[in-house]
Amino acid sequence: MSLRDVVLLHGWGSGAGIWDDLARRLEPRFRPHALPLPGYGPDTARALSLEAIVTAVARAAPRRCGVVGWSLGGEIALAWARRAPRQVERLALIATTPCFTSKPGWPCATAPAVLREFGRALATDRTGTLARFTAVQAKGDARARRFAGVLQRFNESGPPADVLAAGLAILSNTDLRRELSRVGQPALVLHGARDRIVPPAAGRRLAAALPNARFELLRTCAHAPFLSQPARVAAALREFFDE
């Protein structure tokens, strides 16, 4: 029996290596593919819009696969699943929101002014700004110190400024809420109850809006549950992709 392919899409400012531990836990039952987003890997090619990133990821991925997306990677996974339902068979979304910024009728999000200020700070103090971002991602997690160090290592060797800025623009401008009813693949939405980046309410609304999704709340986790509770997240993913 052939192994099922599972693509792992990382979040803003990190990199494909963030999945190393989880990928080992998914083997040997699955064949994990931790794909660097354009600009994050050794390839110097740039894809600085959501559509361009989806195109690049789809080309690099197996013809049929399950997909795990974290944060920005989750938004990319949603857009990809909508565009290529024959390629993306199942969808696991970790700390994902269809709309990162607050809008009328969508309060469970970040104020646009906060993101603009973050972008300005990033342009003048990349190291300090990414360090503060890491601290916010870890804040409140029962194992904050454990995974903050992992995130910080990726920040120090992260992508160039234009890639980071393009990612912020995607987070600021993307609103996939109207697309969700057309993402019919089975979906698992995993969310940390202590997430300060993407409120749990956004994950609940995401799961409710998808036609075939279920929601699981990880009560002691913040924004990166797969780093905080890797065994639990790996078990949930193995069960989901085995269905």
What secondary structure does DSSP assign to 173-192, as a single string? Answer: H-B-GGGGGG--S-EEEEEE
Q: Kindly name the residue from 10, 33, 191, 223 that is annotated as catalytic.
A: 223
**Annotation marks residue 10 as catalytic:** no
Residues contacting residue 152 through CB under 8 Å, at least 6 positions apart: 131, 134
Q: Which of 141, 191, 195, 228 is catalytic?
A: 195
> Side chain identity at 26, as an amino acid letter?
L
Yes or no: say if 29 and 3 are a contact pair by the CB < 8 Å rule: yes
10 Å CB burial of residue 58 (0-12, 13-18, 19+) is: middle
For 131-138, which contacts have Cβ atoms below 8 Å and span 24 or more sequence positions? 131/155, 133/13, 136/196, 136/197, 136/223, 137/196, 137/197, 137/222, 137/223, 137/224, 138/222, 138/223, 138/224
Which of 10, 71, 141, 191 does the annotation list as catalytic? Answer: 71
Q: Please state, in angstroms and as integers, the Cα–Cα distance from residue 17 to each residue in 99, 104, 198, 227, following that order.
A: 26, 37, 22, 12
Does the annotation mark 20 as catalytic? no
Give the catalytic positions in this structure. 71, 195, 223
